[in-house]
A and B are shown apart, each in its own frame.
Chain A
Amino acid sequence: MRAAALALCAGVGVLLGRAVLSMPETEAGVAPLIEANLAASGVKNPVTAVLLNFRGYDTLLEIAVLVLATIGVLSLSASKPGTWAPVAAQADPVLSALARFLAPVMVLVSGYLLWAGEHAPGGAFQAGSVIGAAGVLLALSGYARPAWVSRFALRAAISVGFIVFLGTAAGSMLAGGTLLEYPPELAKTLIIVVETWLTVSIAAILISLFIASASPAEQLRRRTESEW
């Protein structure tokens, strides 16, 4: 078994190595095309332009992957108590204080990242991850879902980014274009709207993924009821 695996890996390695070394020294690819159309994309960062405009469809599907994975994880964590330890047995006062200080800062940072994504590395994923991290931090320091956040609201937060993205896509079709064809003058606005809602969803998704995997549903519910 091991020998076979080793042989397979060696074979794949040699194949890959030869392929890499045989590739042309330079290959322009579609870089010149991206350069030429950057102005019409609504954003200044070429990577963001590819992600959100030229190949915005990839990103739409990638959000679908994210939402799908979340639903998948939630489908697995339904019922049956687990044996892994809950997120936090009790709130650590130091962590709790730190979290209370850090959380608003992180939200601010995420806002900056969202805005910066238009011309520099950044964007919804980075922004959403930071808020997500803030949420994880809060969860680790003993906070759980606030009572006013209903199950429906959680589901809505998870899916809103995808739904808004789909809505923009459909909107561009209703406006006479093709899927995700932004009119150049509206491109920037639309992209920012989508990015903002994506940030919300990505944050909600990351927090949900963490809580759903880290803490058995039953214990989470118990804590939610008793402490909040």
Chain B
Amino acid sequence: MGDWVTQQLPALLILVPFTAAPFAYLLGAGYDRQTALLSAALTQPLAAFLALTVVQEGPVRYAIGGWGGPLGIELAADGFSATMVLVTSVVGLLVTVYGLRYFGDLERYRFFWPLWLFLWGSLNALFLSADIFNLYVCLELVSMSAVALVGLTLRREALVAAMRYMLAAILGSLFYLLGVALFYGAFGSVDMATLRETVRPDVAGQAGLALMTAGLVLKTALFPLHFWLPPAHSNAASPVSAVLSALVVKGSFFILVRLWIDVAQPEAFPGASVVLGVLGSSAIVWGSVQALRQERLKMLVAYSTVAQIGYLFLLFPLASGGGQAASDAWVGGIFHAVSHALAKSAMFLAAGIVLARFGHDRLEGLGGLSRRAPVTAMAFGLAGVTMMGLPPSGGFIAKWQLIKASIGSGQWWWAVVVVAGGLLAAAYMFRVVGPFFAREAEDLDDSDLDPGPSPVTMDGAALALALGALVLGVAGQPLIDLIMVGAPALVAGVTP
């Protein structure tokens, strides 16, 4: 049994949520939440087991249908994949637990469960796929379930935001698919392992990579293609916002990293990685400045996502030179993705509690929150530590590594961006957190609407995620070890 599970791990991680999804829909009211909880509970040990297997025995490959690439489709789990699957399962479990009470048994929200399980399965499928066409299908699954979740509340702003998101997502997918087509035409395979050997930086190869990158950048909401993200992430129901910001944008980023760092070699496409780095830096500045100007909490948090996505893209220029700096950048970039996932979901969950209790999320009306909802305020504040990249937090380890990679690779200007971005983040975080300590009781208007303390499971989920992001900053070494398992040659730390 144990052996069987070990062999089938990647497939099981995809099958469990995908099986739960239609059953949650089929069984409907009454059983959908139980189905989701069961799936979430089953996924945890599987994800942990996968990470353990990868650390102990190295990267896992799984030939679907027994064919293997390039004829069939392969699943592959290296440290990066296992990390993303693990963070998905942790965030997923806590969002599920939070959602049980948040959505309750409101008829309107019964679609949350199947859609969310589909999203979960799609994310696992995406993080485990080693086939660029299969990734197209995964991308579509992720996008469509995400869009449907945004529209879940049926509020007008949410529907329009969902539509905007949908159009951007489909367009992104088409660009990506066109790139896949060119790759197949030029190199004769859609299997990543095969492509790694055959990809050439010729005209078709460059065009294919450019198209895929454009599509994925649109889907990741990298500045200046971020226009769809803030309305979608801020108008969705809060558990949905949490999943979107924490996990969904990382999906397309994951493929970008695979393509650039693993399949193609950045030095074969000179200049392009610098462009991505510049866009990332612009995202940090632009997103933070916009966050500073927002009047609504969820909008601010959404713009913070735009900014934080920027850090991920510093990975490309920092890793392009290889050597120790590339290795540092690799750990820093992925560590950032993980700690941002935990902290940002904590923030959205906390914002959801605020909305549910006080009926609004206007910043000016959040004074004195630390007295009215101490645990919620604490969760938000602790998540803010990671967002600012201050120790002890996962965000700090990530920024430390990025700064180290900048200086180590002689590109100190990215270090300036990282430090400046942290200060900007501090500015917008304290814009929110500062007034939590304000004394004026009338600050929290609509207080007669307050149904009282939020359920322990909701506060607990938000706090657990925020604490998780902090713990990474102290006890993050196992995660770093995991990230480095089977890392692509460029970033494996071997000096060229």
Contacts and interface: CB of A to CB of B under 8 A. Distances in A.
Task: Give yes or no for direct A-B contact (beta carbon below 8 Å).
Answer: yes
Interface of A: 12, 15-16, 18-20, 22-24, 27-30, 33-34, 37, 53-58, 61-62, 64-65, 67-69, 71-72, 74-76, 78-80, 151-152, 155-156, 158-159, 162-163, 166, 169-170, 173, 177-182
Interface in B120-162: 121-122, 125, 133-134, 137-138, 140-141, 144-145, 147-148, 151-152, 154, 159
B449 interface: no
B125 A61 contact: yes
Interface in B62-98: 62-67, 70-73
Contacts of B187: 27
Nearest to B137: A61
B15 A169 contact: yes
Contact of A179 (B15, B133, B159): B15
Interface stretch (B50-58, B178-186, B368-376): B178-186
A79 B18 CA distance: 27
Given A33-B70, A163-B22, A68 B15 contact: no
Contact of A64 (B26, B141, B182, B206): B141
B186 A180 contact: no
Interface of B: 7-8, 11, 14-15, 18-19, 21-23, 25-26, 28, 62-67, 70-73, 107-108, 111, 114-115, 118, 121-122, 125, 133-134, 137-138, 140-141, 144-145, 147-148, 151-152, 154, 159, 178, 182, 184-189, 202-204, 206-208, 210-211
14 contacts: A16-B207, A19-B206, A29-B188, A55-B72, A57-B72, A58-B134, A64-B118, A64-B121, A68-B118, A71-B118, A76-B148, A178-B11, A179-B8, A179-B62
Given A61-B125, A64-B121, A159-B22, A71 B189 contact: no
Majority DSSP secondary structure for residues of B touching A: helix
A76 B151 contact: yes
A16 B115 CA distance: 36
Majority DSSP secondary structure for residues of A touching B: helix
B65 A72 contact: no
A178 B141 contact: no
Contacts of B189: 29-30
B424 to A, nearest CB: 29
A65 B141 contact: yes
Contact of A74 (B8, B108, B111, B137): B111
A67 B111 CA distance: 13
A58 B137 contact: yes
A18 B210 CA distance: 13
A23 B25 CA distance: 46
Contact of A178 (B8, B22, B122): B8
B141 A61 contact: yes
A80 B151 CA distance: 15
Contacts of A74: 111
Contacts of A181: 64-66
A65 B144 contact: yes
